[in-house]
Structure 1
Amino acid sequence: MSLLKKLGFLSIFTIPALIVWGYYMGGGWTFSGFVFGYGIIPLLDTIIGKDPENITEDSFDQVISNRYFYAVVYAQVYVHVGIVLFAGYVVSLQTMTALEWTGLLLSVMLFMSSGINIAHELGHKRSKVAQFHSQLTLMLVGYMHFFIEHNKGHHVHVATPKDPATSKKNQTFYAFWVQSVFGGWQSAWDIESRRLQRHGLKTWSRHNAMLWYIALPLIFCTLLTTILSWGSGAVIWAIPAFWVAQSILAFSSLEAVNYVEHYGIVRREIAPGKYERVNPLHSWNSNHRVSNFFLFQLQRHSDHHAHAARPYQVLRHFDESPQLPSGYPVMILMSLVPPLWFGVMNKRLERWKSKAYDAEHIKQVVQATV
């Protein structure tokens, strides 16, 4: 892997720097992180273009064992903790205007939604240390059930009617949001309940991770509010209001990503209730270089679903996978306008269908991407 690409993954640190800088500049500058994510990154994607590079077989082991890539991810966890603490502190001061409060909220939301991506990367690791950090990051946005549902639900049922995180053709993002948020939570509860039953444990007990996933974010928010408002004269509701708002916006951004990644794609049902194995045709991809730096190559999503344990630094691009016209930032904004989204994506979805159910084509794709 080139030095430029290795350094590119450090670009995510730009956003927390802009959040802090924007706050101290004041006024409209508090929107800096948000504008950078949804304005500058798409512009750079257009100028710099796509990334055709895949890791070679000769360098695979060296890259996958390089601790640099893991250090970047773990560092991000603690930067996210720091940003939540920073945002809570400056909100507690009660010195911002409504404009500044809104700008800070949107910029923090953008960064905290990228934290869910960090949690996603670490949540696929078997290491208890990695899994702890995954759950810690999800706690910051009150979305800890994602740790269960994504790994044991979504990856099993993706591109089937059983998956709440797979969007349907002609389904708006807003309808999908309800489906995925509430359906995902119910799925995680059911998965955890079955796990407890297998071990002879009661659902309503301290062994139920879902109960902890409800309690821990509430405890965190309470402690954050208590500590930061202690003796400061802060309006007590300001801190939890900001925390809840950034959490909802952050996990809604995640759900927009889910909507984009899986829109309309359905695996073949080869027997009643049984579907073909996931292959690289079953997720939308974007190979735009800059947005992939900031998203740790999440946009190479087909390889991720075909090989869930593959670390971000060695995820591959396949021309055979269905391709998005832009990176995720543009696609997320587009998803908020249903007529625009349907006008662009339904044509691409029909082209995908023309190949996705052809047995010979599937065979060739699978052989080419093993």
Structure 2
Amino acid sequence: MMNILHYLKYFLFHIIGLLALTMVTLGGAYTTYGLITILVFYMVGDAVCGDDTTTPTFKYPGILTAQLWMALPLLLMIIFASLWSVSSGDVLGYGAWVQQLTGFDALAARESTFWGHHISTILLSGLMIGMVGTITAHELTHRTWDPISMFVGRWLLAFSFDTIFSIEHVYGHHRYVSTTEDPATAPRGRNVYFHVLASTIKGNISAWNIEKKRLKRDGHGAISLRNGVIRGHLMSLLLVAVAYAMGGWPVAGFFIASALWGKSLLEIVNYMEHYGMVRDPKLPVQPRHSWNTNKRISSWSMFNLTRHSHHHAQGEVPYQDLKPFPEAPMMIGGYLTTILVAMVPPLWFKLMDPKVKEWDLKYASPEELKLSEAANKRAGWGLKASA
């Protein structure tokens, strides 16, 4: 029975996605209630349910892979319902189908929706793009040997205009993490809003350079459909075109806003996973070079993204086999809680900067202590890294 539960716990991810789909379809205040419910569920659940430090053995890993692949149709349904909720027509007869199936007049509910609840729909849709899309794609695009996983992963990333993640993250970030060469590693003292912009721009440049070198090595030019950066952005443009076909520029703009919020969430997560870290580039990446958390609800519903320390030490390890590393440096809390804290820079610096200084004393190598002192100086801390 316990072995079955270990498989079932990862379906919590799909339950949350289906809840979001239902609330968006119901429209009106239900969308706002859904957003609040999901946020509270994560924050309270992580606070109350504690840590999960188990690493069970799975005899049927194909089930776990199928769970990942299921994210694409789930995200398609969520975003379709989101765009339908602001369109003027009944696209594909969705409202009529809902009424026929349940008796609920979805079209009438949509027409009476207060504009403020549409903002909740953007926030909820972007949250699902980040959770259902990016988190799953993060796992899938590490499986470079599996064409199906790469296909599903890149399409999931297309919803946040971020297919370059499958290039820069795998071949750039994992190589340069916690060094000044890594766009995703936020230096000490940087606020999250500047980081979202800086990491996005530098990440795209990095991905382009990686693809340019790969194509040159194979005897091809960079301006070509062989270029994964170009193909990826065309995938995202296709999604914008579909949104436009559903209701013109208002619906396309609604999708773009949701996608950009989803992309921002990825960069916020990058920010909190590596903020303030330093690494001697001559040393291999170790668990101490990433912020970790073992909060139970975040771990179960985010495919162990929380076990980031092991992931960076061994990026090829499937999510179900990642170890908790309770001795690794720990985040403030679970993922949603830490995201919200990061979005309030004064609170973030108050809670996180002492953790960074503690990291210097507890985890840094002698060479990294020198790097830490230089990082402290650049941040204007005026503090030595060593006691």
Runs of 4+ in structure 1 over 4 Å off: none
Q: State the Cα deviation string for residues 289-318 of structure 1 (Å, max 9, x = none).
A: 011111111010010001101111111111
Match of 1:332 among 329, 339, 353: 339
How many residue pairs get aligned? The number is 341
Cross-structure match for 1:124: 142
Cross-structure match for 1:368: none
Is 1:286–2:293 an aligned residue pair? yes
CA RMSD of aligned residues (A): 1.7
Is 1:254–2:266 an aligned residue pair? yes
What percentage of aligned pairs have identical amino acids? 31
Q: State the Cα deviation string for residues 166-220 of structure 1 (Å, max 9, x = none).
A: 0111111012112111010110011111111111111112222212122221122
SS at match of 2:362: helix
After TM superposition, list the pairs within 5 Å mapping 1:145-156 onto structure 2.
145-156=164-175
Which runs of 5 or more structure 1 residues have no equivalent in the other structure?
230-235, 269-273, 360-370
CA contact (8 A) 1:334 1:340 kept: yes
Cross-structure match for 1:366: none
Q: CA deviation at 1:25?
A: 3.8
* Partner Cα distance (2:203, 2:25) in 1: 38
Cross-structure match for 1:220: 239
CA contact (8 A) 1:159 1:166 kept: yes
Amino acid at match of 2:322: L
Is 1:45–2:33 an aligned residue pair? no
* Partner Cα distance (1:185, 1:316) in 2: 31
Amino acid at match of 2:364: Y
* Partner Cα distance (2:177, 2:288) in 1: 12
Amino acid at match of 1:108: S
Is 1:113–2:130 an aligned residue pair? yes
* Partner Cα distance (2:365, 2:284) in 1: 14
- Mark the CA change 1:24 to 1:247 in structure 2 (over 3 Å): closer, same or farther: closer
Cross-structure match for 1:276: 283
* Partner Cα distance (1:24, 1:116) in 2: 22
Is 1:312–2:319 an aligned residue pair? yes
Amino acid at match of 2:40: G
CA contact (8 A) 1:33 1:108 kept: no
* Partner Cα distance (1:260, 1:344) in 2: 12
* Partner Cα distance (1:321, 1:24) in 2: 42
Q: CA deviation at 1:119?
A: 0.7
Cross-structure match for 2:377: none
CA contact (8 A) 2:137 2:154 kept: yes
CA contact (8 A) 2:291 2:308 kept: yes
CA contact (8 A) 1:135 1:144 kept: yes
* Partner Cα distance (1:216, 1:318) in 2: 37
Is 1:169–2:176 an aligned residue pair? no
After TM superposition, list the pairs within 5 Å mapping 1:52-131 onto structure 2.
52-55=53-56, 59=57, 62-63=58-59, 65-93=60-88, 95=111, 96-114=113-131, 115-125=133-143, 126-131=145-150
TM-score under structure 2 length normalisation: 0.84
* Partner Cα distance (1:358, 1:189) in 2: 33
Which runs of 5 or more structure 2 residues have no equivalent in the other structure?
89-109, 367-387
Q: CA deviation at 1:24?
A: 4.4
* Partner Cα distance (1:349, 1:37) in 2: 30
Cross-structure match for 2:381: none
Is 1:5–2:20 an aligned residue pair? no
- Mark the CA change 1:212 to 1:190 in structure 2 (over 3 Å): closer, same or farther: same
Q: State the Cα deviation string for residues 148-170 of structure 1 (Å, max 9, x = none).
A: 11101101100000000001111
Cross-structure match for 2:305: 298
